[in-house]
Structure formats: C-alpha cells, structure tokens
Amino acid sequence: MTVRVLLADDQALLRQAFRTLLDVADDLTVVGEAADGGEAVSLTRELHPDVVVMDIRMPGVDGLTATAEICADPELQATRILILTTYETDEHVAQALRAGASGFIGKGIGAADLLDAVRTIAGGETLLSPAATRALIARFLATPADDPPWHRPEQFDALTPREREMVALVATGLSNQEIAERMFLSPFTVRAHVQRAMTKLQARDRAQLVVIAYQSGLAYGGTDQPP
C-alpha cells in the first residue's frame, strides 16, 4: 500500500526537496503541498492523506494550531501528523503531542531517516526518542492546561491490570518488541493489549496513549505500574 503524504511548510525549496525524496520511494507519494497551516487543514480535508509532515512555524495559522484542528476532526481520524521543526525544544514537542501529533523530526534530518519517519507514523507507531521524551513529557504534560474529553476516570476503570501495565510501559518509549522481552510475552500479545487499551481510552495512536499515561499519573509509579 502506498502512503499518501501532504507537505506543509512555508519554504517552497524545502517542500520541493522533501517531495523529491519521498516520491523516489516506491511506497510513498506526495499528494499535496501547503504553504501555511490554514491551507494544510483545507488540503487535509480535501485529500485525506495518511501523513501530514507539518512545520511548526508558518505565517497565519501555525503548525500546532493546524495540527489540533486536524486531529479534532472526526472525519480525519486516520490522518497522522509528523511535526517538522528547526526548534526541537521540549515545549514545542509537548505542545505538538497535546495537539495530537504522532511524532516529530528536525529539519536537519537525513533522507533515509525522513522516509523511515513517515513510514513509522503511517504504521500507527510513535516517533519519539525514549531518552529525550520521557523527561519532556514528565515536565510539560504532567500538569496539562486542560483536561481533554478522552481523559475520563471511567475509561481507566475499563482497563484490565495487564492493559494498564502495557500503557505504563508504552509511556517509557518502549516498542512492542521491547515490552514483550521485558514481560516475557509474545510481541503479538503485547500489540493486542496495547490496541485494546487504545480503543478503550479512545487514543488515536501511541503518542496520544503516552500523553494519557502521563496526564493520568499512570506513568509515575502508581499502584498499577509495573516495576
């Protein structure tokens, strides 16, 4: 299956460079380009891409605002947002996750890493560095500005103890394979637990699951978290 990508960046040369790189891959294709956040939202609604590579700083509507608008649209639930930024600060990354982004990359990323990043996001995974992300999420998402509608106590009550363990481990940045090795389970079993937890918590992807884990306190050594 070919992954359909929308590029959103106010720099035409950068968009062209990314288009050239992505279109060379047999499994990736660029379906549109946007020069600002407002155009990115409009084109996403029109084209329904699998992945939007979204710059943060753009004139008019910025990338974070556009990301939040796209992720809040029920008709665009299948679209994943990959944040592109020159400023890889903790605060920007945290804001991107709050807005609903599935991951982030820096503008200095190499060609192969860009392709892998798009594929990772399209596959429903999270593109977050465990070492860097654990600290920034703990700092910026532990006390969120707003309590999102999908973060309700009754939803956590629906999780089994094993599913809570999986959510807590996902929040550390571990992959399904790494969780499987730690818990002496098969990767298939881990994936099934994680998917069920995402469904119960109405999380669109693993990135949002990480946010939920920290906002709920599940990732801070609560009684349901494994050692």
The model's confidence at residue 46, banded by pLDDT at 50, 70 and 90, is: very high
**Structural domains counted in the chain:** 2
126: pLDDT strictly greater than 90: no
* Domain identity same for 14 and 112: yes
Residue with tokens 């349901």: 224
The upper half-sphere exposure of residue 39, i.e. CA atoms within 13 Å in the direction of its Cβ, equals: 15
* Domain identity same for 29 and 56: yes
Last residue in a domain, options 127, 159, 179 = 127
3-state secondary structure of 137: helix
Last residue in a domain, options 127, 147, 176 = 127
Share of the chain above pLDDT 90, in %: 37
Q: Letter for the amino acid at 142?
A: A
Cα separation of 48 and 78, whole Å? 8
Cα separation of the two ends of the chain: 39
Q: What is the dihedral of CA 17, 19, 24, 30, to 10 degrees?
A: 170
pLDDT of residue 66: 95
* Domain identity same for 167 and 216: yes
Cα separation of 180 and 158, whole Å? 22
* Domain identity same for 142 and 178: yes
* Domain identity same for 52 and 108: yes
The model's confidence at residue 142, banded by pLDDT at 50, 70 and 90, is: low
pLDDT of residue 131: 43
* Domain identity same for 48 and 91: yes
* Domain identity same for 121 and 210: no
Q: Tell me which of 148 and 65 has the higher pLDDT.
A: 65
Closest by CA position to 193, among listed 224, 162, 154: 162
**How does DSSP classify residue 52?**
E
* Domain identity same for 67 and 99: yes
CB atoms within 10 A of CB 46: 11
Chain centroid to Cα 178, Å, comes to: 19
162: pLDDT strictly greater than 90: yes
Could you tell me the pTM of the whole model?
0.67
Calculate mean pLDDT across residues 29-42.
95
* Domain identity same for 140 and 59: no
Per-range mean pLDDT, top range of 79-93, 126-140, 148-162, 171-185: 171-185
Calculate mean pLDDT across residues 57-67.
90
* Domain identity same for 35 and 117: yes
Residue with tokens 């060609």: 111
Q: Tell me which of 221 and 69 has the higher pLDDT.
A: 69
* Domain identity same for 13 and 109: yes
The model's confidence at residue 97, banded by pLDDT at 50, 70 and 90, is: confident
Q: Tell me which of 45 and 221 has the higher pLDDT.
A: 45
* Domain identity same for 164 and 79: no
63: pLDDT strictly greater than 50: yes
Last residue in a domain, options 105, 127, 149 = 127
Q: Tell me which of 60 and 156 has the higher pLDDT.
A: 60
CATH of the domain at 159: 3.40.50.2300
Per-range mean pLDDT, top range of 87-91, 185-189, 211-215: 185-189
Domain span at residue 106? 3-127
* 175 touches 186 (CB < 8 A): no
